[in-house]
Amino acid sequence: MITTNSGSIGVSKRDNCRKTFIDSLDSQNQQQSEKTSRIVDAISRAFADTSALLKHECAYCLGQMGNKYAIEKLIHVLNDSNEDSMVRHEAGEALGALGCFDNQNVIDALTKQSQNSRAEIAETCQIALDRLAWLRKNASNGTSSTSTDRSFPTIDPAPPLAPKTIDELKEILLDEKRSLFERYRAMFALRNIGTDEAVLAICEGFRASSALFRHEIAFVLGQLQSVCSIPALHQQLSILDENYMVRHECAETLGSIGTDECRRILETYLKDEERVVRESCEVALDISDYVNSTDFQYCNGLKLVESECC
């Protein structure tokens, strides 16, 4: 079972990663609450766990919650050279999501790590810096910095481009001479279109040289949950020497689509040599259960955390 100690999310070695992961997710839902600082502390204590999957999800939650109190904790994780690259990447992206373009500590940390030798960390931090620069420019112009499409309530690492044709957006998406930030913007614009043609265009992004970019492709496909993407996701998951971040995201996206075919694919990788992939498949199968059952209590962890830390 999951226990909490002094407001922490406690994880014993016997705990199933899928349950721990599921409980961490619900903390995103408590935005703008007087309790969020304590919840930030509770989530942050889970960074002591050994599961990179859990820790990366905690970093994601902290970015989505929008509480600036998390900045110091996220900077610490980003700068920790002993931490898993996937977790550090997520901390960098979370700092961009918080949108504090006038916080010099954030700018300094992202600038420093944009030169990291690990491409997924360096690229994440550059995209976050580009997002903050975009927010600063829009703030000075007095224009809105939010997307008008509310079908996807997440804080994205880049704003979608203005409406263009699918072919135009796909050209930008696949153009490796452009910045990752601009290509991300094309990706999110295609996501907002959401047709089968747009989904297939997004799938072509798996051809990109950047593992970070391929991982974001899988994440966006998870938001769309289109069966059209199953073959591409399966193909990417099956590449055993693919970056584990990409395979992890493909697994979770297959879980969110939740068809019988997706379940069969996921069950194949439950004993994968890569721990993050194994755990992601466990989580994905529970996500699939949720997708296919009105009785499955998928995210009730926030009540547990609140009862202990608030």
pLDDT on residue 36: 79
Whether 17 has a pLDDT exceeding 70, the answer reads: no
Residues constituting the chain = 310
Q: Which of 29-43, 128-142, 201-215 has the lowest mean pLDDT?
A: 29-43
pLDDT greater than 50 at residue 298: no
76 annotated binding-site participant = no
Query: Is 120 a residue whose pLDDT tops 80?
Result: yes
Asked if 38 contacts 4 with a C-beta cutoff of 8 angstroms, the reply is: no
Q: At what angle do helices 119-141 and 211-224 cross, to 10 degrees?
A: 60
Q: Is 248 annotated for ligand binding?
A: yes
pLDDT at 149: 60
Quick one: average pLDDT of 92-112?
A: 99
89 is in an annotated binding site: yes
Is 56 annotated as ligand-binding? yes
Residue 57 annotated as binding site: yes
Q: Read off the pTM.
A: 0.87
- Report pLDDT digits (tens) over 211-270: 999 999 999 999 999 999 999 999 999 999 999 999 999 999 999 999 999 999 999 999
Distance (Å, whole) CA 129 – CA 37? 25
Higher-pLDDT residue of 108, 3? 108
Q: In the prediction, which pLDDT does 150 show?
A: 63
Mean pLDDT for the stretch of residues 46-56: 97
**Residue 7 or residue 162, greater confidence:** 162
Integer Cα distance of 203 and 216 in angstroms: 11
Asked whether residue 168 is marked as a ligand-binding residue, the answer is: no
The contacts found for 235-239 with CB under 8 angstroms, 24 or more apart, are 235/206, 236/206, 237/265, 237/269, 237/277
* Cα-to-chain-centroid distance, residue 269: 21
Average of pLDDT values for 107-121?
99
The confidence score (pLDDT) of residue 143 equals 62
* Domain residue limits, the chain: 17-309
Q: How many other C-beta atoms can be found within 10 angstroms of the C-beta atom of residue 118?
A: 14
Residue 163 pLDDT more than 60?
Answer: yes
User: Would the pLDDT of 295 be above 80?
Assistant: no
Judge whether 204 is annotated as a binding position: no
Alpha carbon 113 to its chain centroid, in Å, reads: 19
Measured CA to CA in angstroms, residue 58 lies from 25, 28, 87, 243 at distances of 8, 9, 9, 20
pLDDT recorded at residue 33: 53
Do residues 185 and 158 make contact, with C-beta atoms less than 8 angstroms apart? yes
Query: What average pLDDT does the structure give for the chain?
Result: 88
